[in-house]
Amino acid sequence: MEFKDKTNTIFAVFSAPRRENKMDILDQPLFIIASDDLRRKQSMAQKYDVIIIGAGVVGSAIAREMTRYELKIGVLEKNRDVCFETSGRNSAVIHGGFAYDTGSRKAECCVEGNQEFDKVARELDVPFKRTGKVLVGNTATDYESLQKTIATGRNNGSIGLKMVDKERLHEMAPAVIGEFAMLSPMSGIVDPFQYAIGLAENAKMNGVDFYFDHEVTGIRRQADNSYTVITTQGDFNTGWIVNSAGLGAVKISEMIGLPGYRISSTKGNYIILDKRSALYCLCLFILFQAIPIWASMLHRPLTVT
Ligand SMILES: Cc1cc2nc3c(=O)[nH]c(=O)nc-3n(C[C@H](O)[C@H](O)[C@H](O)COP(=O)(O)OP(=O)(O)OC[C@H]3O[C@@H](n4cnc5c(N)ncnc54)[C@H](O)[C@@H]3O)c2cc1C
């Protein structure tokens, strides 16, 4: 496994024996995934090969994936369960991979992740629907912008992107008014809670220890290059740290001694038009307005889901 920094330079190569006998499939959900870990009193620092900070969807997915290797893994989470922050407060879209710059790691991961999502959802028994997504446009500028999006998406490996005319748009989404739309048939929706919980439960089944109510407050580098991670409920020694702390990731980075990252935020409005249009019900297509450039500059995009 290679680890790269934000300039894409490899700064560490990680090797651990791979084990093939771990369970991919979540047969029986473990509803309380960490009660025994929570109760474990720490009289001395726990020792791990890898400490993952943050049990959102990213930390939980990394924890699950890392159980394919012979590693002792611990996850430290400041909240009392997984998915308490951004991973439980999003639009639930499995993106098609057309929105990222060609050649970027985001584009590569998005397209690959999208294409393997049926399998992952089956393994974790998580509801997932390839609803498709339409980006609706009205003007010549919108048309040009959507054509560019299609070209970027195709270069990224996104499957099935195409323009549809007004009639087809109306057939697909009768309530939507627009002159044309870009259709991404591979886009879909998932239950974000069940997905993150499924990942964490499967990781737990495969031997990962979860520590909830453990906020990381400091990190010390030791002479042998290992780390001591200090939390509100005791210390943890580890050879490797995975920083998946979401909005807390900058602080963790600084604690490790890697300053310079920053979070850039955008404000937007979500309008819930019909609560019944949920995963099991009438949400046929995910709709995003083709955002005019002035709106995105004002940081005031309007998203209709
Ligand atoms: C409005 C909105 C809509 C979105 N829609 C989509 C979408 O449709 N599709 C999509 O793919 N993405 C979407 N996203 C993005 C997606 O939700 C995030 O990329 C994803 O949830 C990030 O997951 P994460 O695990 O990195 O972060 P988080 O879910 O924030 O998890 C980080 C965890 O780290 C923990 N933590 C932080 N600091 C510490 C500390 N010091 N000690 C211990 N624990 C700590 C936090 O408690 C948290 O649980 C959306 C985001 C937003 C805001």
> Whose CA is closest to atom 38 on ligand 1?
248
pLDDT of residue 259: 94
Measured from the CA of 244, which atom of ligand 1 is nearest?
26
User: What long-range pairs does 218-225 form, CB within 8 A, spacing at least 24?
Assistant: 218/255, 219/252, 219/255, 219/256, 221/256, 221/257
Catalytic residue among 95, 170, 214, 299: 95
With a 6 A CB cut-off, is 56 part of the ligand 1 pocket? yes
Q: Which residues on neighbouring strands pair with residue 135, listed in sequence order?
A: 182, 288
pLDDT for the residue numbered 119: 96
What does the pLDDT read at residue 278?
A: 52
Which pLDDT does position 194 carry in this prediction?
Answer: 95
pLDDT of residue 174: 85
* Phi, psi (degrees; rounded to nearest 5) at 136: -95, 135
Pocket test for ligand 1, best of 60, 79, 91, 269 (most atoms within 8 A of CB): 91
CA of 62 to the centre of ligand 1 (A): 14
Give the pLDDT confidence score for residue 265 in this predicted structure: 86
As a whole number of angstroms, the distance between CA 11 and CA 240 comes to: 13
Q: What's the Cα-to-Cα distance from 256 to each of 110, 221, 227, 229, 243, rounded to whole Å?
A: 28, 8, 9, 9, 9
Does 95 qualify as catalytic in the annotation? Answer: yes
Q: Which atom of ligand 1 is nearest to the CA of 54?
A: 34
User: Residue 7 is which amino acid?
Assistant: T
Q: What is the pLDDT of residue 59?
A: 98
Q: Which of 52, 79, 85, 213 to mutate to test the pocket of ligand 1 (most atoms within 8 A of CB)?
A: 85
Alpha helices in 7-100 (DSSP H): 35-39, 57-66
Six-digit token string for 86: 């951004």
Over residues 198-236, the pLDDT tens digits come to 999 999 999 999 999 999 999 999 999 999 999 999 999
133 near 187, Cβ under 8 Å? yes
Indicate if ligand 1 lies below 6 Å from the C-beta of 92: yes
How do the pLDDT tens digits run along the chain, 305 residues long? Answer: 554 444 444 444 456 666 655 667 665 544 444 444 544 545 578 899 999 999 999 999 999 999 999 999 999 999 999 999 999 988 899 999 999 999 999 999 999 999 999 999 999 999 999 989 999 999 999 999 999 999 999 999 999 999 999 999 999 888 888 999 999 999 999 999 999 999 999 999 999 999 999 999 999 999 999 999 999 999 999 999 999 999 999 999 999 999 999 998 888 777 766 666 554 444 455 666 554 444 444 443 333 33
Measured between alpha carbons, how far is 142 from 181 in angstroms, rounded to an integer? Answer: 9
Q: How far apart are CA 33 and CA 206, in angstroms?
A: 12
CA atoms within 13 A on the CB side of 125: 9
* Residue nearest atom 20 of ligand 1, based on CA coordinates: 87
Distance 272 CA to ligand 1 centre (A): 21
Rounded Cα distance, 83 and 196, in Å: 6
Radius of gyration of the chain (CA): 21
The closest residue, in CA terms, to atom 1 on ligand 1 is 90
DSSP single-letter state for residue 18: B
pLDDT of 43: 54
Q: What is the 3-state secondary structure (H, E, C) of 114-180?
A: HHCHHHHHHHHCCCEECCCEEEEECCHHHHHHHHHHHHHHHHHCCCCCEEEEHHHHHHHCCCCCCCE
Please give the domain boundaries of the chain with CATH numbers for all domains: 37-88+193-256 (3.50.50.60), 129-188+267-304 (no CATH)
CA of 270 to the centre of ligand 1 (A): 17
Residue 128 CA to residue 247 CA, distance in Å, equals: 26
Question: Which of ligand 1's atoms lies nearest the C-alpha of 59?
Answer: 25
Start-to-end Cα distance in the chain: 37
